[in-house]
Structure 1
């Protein structure tokens, strides 16, 4: 094959960028909700930030499950959209929505029974425990709204309309900021609600965002909901098939979220200033890191398409080489953002204690290195998934989390009582643990010979 014909077969960097940027914008806006709340609440002091961190660790379990099942639904909807089968498309949408809402309602019921005990055991004092309860009672609205919103987002993404979910967050985030500021500080005659005001602002924004996506769905695809029949004969059979398809894909995301929440609960036992620093920096890690993660996700989508067309191995290698070079640039940009955040701590978080500010600055060396192995691992993971090696990828994530990061976090915090900087360094250490098995598998090249089931 000539170089010119190979180049014509593979997507160029512009095509990957056009797919990646709406995904990135949406992800930044989603993670930005937590960053905004943490930033606005930081003006109230470390104890209020601790309330937010404890509550977010608990609510994050349910939000992670929503994201997990929604990712599986997105793949199912993309299959249906590509087939042109409207019965399949309707079945995927309504099955995914049913699963999301059911998981959330069951999860909220369990939290209603167990959250109080968890909060009492981890909170530094009675005030933090009481405020965490109040925050979670309001944030439950966000969780229910997101169970619907993520499914609608999966529908639009699966149908190739990636800009619509991004637009919904552009619409919702300013509302979140304005409402939170007013309710936290009691401006313009509103009640001064403190941390709970941040939860109300997020709830208002989430409900309006879901309403926006729902109106767009009904205006563009109302006829789809009236299509008779179900993919597998009945709705019950269709739901079982969708759940069977979703569980293996959701397992990886659910494990990541669960391990993160467990670590978050362990962080809650740190001294309050150190816990506040972790609560502030972790959302920033997620927000800035989405640049590399969404580039990797777009790469995986195109790899899957190339494999579906039975593209030659040299074209796959050339495409992956192009995208990996750009991922290095993306990692450098993310590192620069991290440096700005850490060096601007005295200005961004001037209300916090000097010890908290110093702790944030101590994270800088780790953050300058973290984006490079993390971005490279993400490229490997998404490429291997596209080649059908989902189980292998799942094992790398699950075992690196539960055999390394979680026990190491517990050991450092609960037993050795190490500085929070060493605990934070486990983020980098986990990526290094995953690096070798990911790259060895990618270089082996079996994924390039995968037979993709259409």
Structure 2
């Protein structure tokens, strides 16, 4: 089995290098997720209807963010490999493509959230008590998606180059802004009006605008090799569009399918009642504190796997890919222990019924027991994605989720009277089978390739013409 393979041993140099890249990214994600926890606790003070309504709205936004992640990460694969091959002109073009594609994808979602908030909330739960908070929250946070997704693309490019420290600095400013405005606008402190759920949405919008401004200023001041002028934003070679779309489309479809599956999964769990929705929201926010391992590993994978692939150092990339899976599995045990311990503390911060707190605590402990499985599955996905093996990664990720996870949980939810714990466990057990499939697909080594060779790598400046998309 790959995890026991002695041909790719972990050494101190590799661990140090990965830690140097991953730790700042984990800290950034920890700060962000900690603020999400604080935000949820603040909203939780308004009652279970408020927290459930906001949770339903956020599940909808996960679909849009999933598509953005697919496009940005697909472009980042090329960006990292071009950077590894010192093809800086192509690095710029990959970044431009990411920004343009993100805007095209996000605008329909923004309009839908503004025009049809009630329809979105009713999809998850028809309880009329959820409509009012959802109606207040959805349109404002929908607008916040625009700066949020642009910032995500910019910071994704920074991380693809191996810079995880500056995005961390931006994150600190963003979360402090978010906490401050949520605190004063939700509860009406320092002379501000008490806006409750609307205040939470406005705090998010203000924080995302600040994040975008900081990202733009940082790119202008540091002069990253991917920095581009606004007037050049649409100057993207057609061949690059074709190749990036070829690799990114499966990723984007995968993220959309995965995001929609997660939204449907939330709906299936919600068949057990509004209290379960509140408990699942607490579980999700708490789990995010420990899923920071994934953000750190994806940043490191871009550097230690994608960049060597772009430089045609295939043996180094192969060894690093396998070592990343081993390293991720090892540190996941530490995070699993912390997650288990958190189940005794975090639910107590919410002003909800005792039975909801107890339910959330048990669900957190179940998730902690399967944390190693989650981590191996995710790292296998990152490894395959790093070399552009997006079709196999889609089969392993969203394909498996729709073909196995969803039918299994739906059967338990609709055809039995089992408790939420039994229904939840069904969804976790099928991930064990998925792990063996993921490890098998990684060892097929379809990801050990330089995807940039299909793109014209001439360093000559190209004038806008028949081979170029130009404004």
TM-score, normalization: structure 1? 0.86
Name the counterpart of 1:404: 404
Q: Are positions 1:220 and 2:217 aligned together?
A: no
CA gap of 1:43–1:10, structure 2 versus 1, over 3 A, is: closer
CA gap of 1:433–1:163, structure 2 versus 1, over 3 A, is: same
Q: Deviations over 1:310-352 (max 9, x none)?
A: 4558x955x5675555434421221122222211146322x21
For residues 386 and 95 of structure 1, what CA distance do their matches in structure 2 show? 18
SS in 2 for 1:225: coil
Compute the displacement of 1:154 (Å): 2.0
Superposition pairs of residues 113-262 of structure 1, within 5 angstroms: 113-120=115-122, 122-221=124-223, 224-226=227-229, 239=241, 242-262=244-264
Name the counterpart of 1:339: 340
Structure 1: runs of 5 or more not aligned: 1-5
For residues 453 and 253 of structure 1, what CA distance do their matches in structure 2 show? 23
Using the TM superposition, name which of 397-406 and 267-276 deviates more: 267-276
Name the counterpart of 1:428: 428
8 Å contact kept, 1:51–1:195: no
Q: Are positions 1:26 and 2:3 aligned together?
A: no
Among 265, 268, 292, the alignment partner of 2:267 is 265
Using the TM superposition, name which of 132-141 and 87-96 deviates more: 87-96
SS in 2 for 1:352: coil
Name the counterpart of 1:78: 80
For residues 294 and 399 of structure 2, what CA distance do their matches in structure 1 show? 23
Compute the displacement of 1:207 (Å): 0.8
Q: Deviations over 1:94-121 (max 9, x none)?
A: 2211111111112223444554223235
Using the TM superposition, name which of 95-104 and 105-114 deviates more: 105-114
Name the counterpart of 1:278: 280
For residues 182 and 427 of structure 1, what CA distance do their matches in structure 2 show? 39
CA gap of 1:27–1:182, structure 2 versus 1, over 3 A, is: same
Structure 2: runs of 5 or more not aligned: 1-7, 454-471
Name the counterpart of 1:3: none
For residues 365 and 9 of structure 1, what CA distance do their matches in structure 2 show? 32
Name the counterpart of 2:14: 12
SS in 2 for 1:12: helix
SS in 2 for 1:187: coil
Q: Deviations over 1:357-395 (max 9, x none)?
A: 110122244123211112222333333334553321210
8 Å contact kept, 1:266–1:410: yes
For residues 323 and 287 of structure 1, what CA distance do their matches in structure 2 show? 21
Q: How many residues were matched structurally?
A: 444
SS in 2 for 1:288: coil
CA gap of 1:389–1:67, structure 2 versus 1, over 3 A, is: closer
CA gap of 1:214–1:450, structure 2 versus 1, over 3 A, is: closer
CA gap of 1:323–1:78, structure 2 versus 1, over 3 A, is: closer
8 Å contact kept, 1:400–1:430: no
8 Å contact kept, 2:118–2:134: no
CA gap of 1:384–1:197, structure 2 versus 1, over 3 A, is: same
CA gap of 1:240–1:147, structure 2 versus 1, over 3 A, is: farther
Looking at secondary structure, tell me which structure has more helix per residue. Answer: 1
Q: Deviations over 1:389-413 (max 9, x none)?
A: 3321210112221112223333333
RMSD value over aligned CA atoms? 3.2
Compute the displacement of 1:213 (Å): 0.5
8 Å contact kept, 1:35–1:283: yes
8 Å contact kept, 1:71–1:154: yes
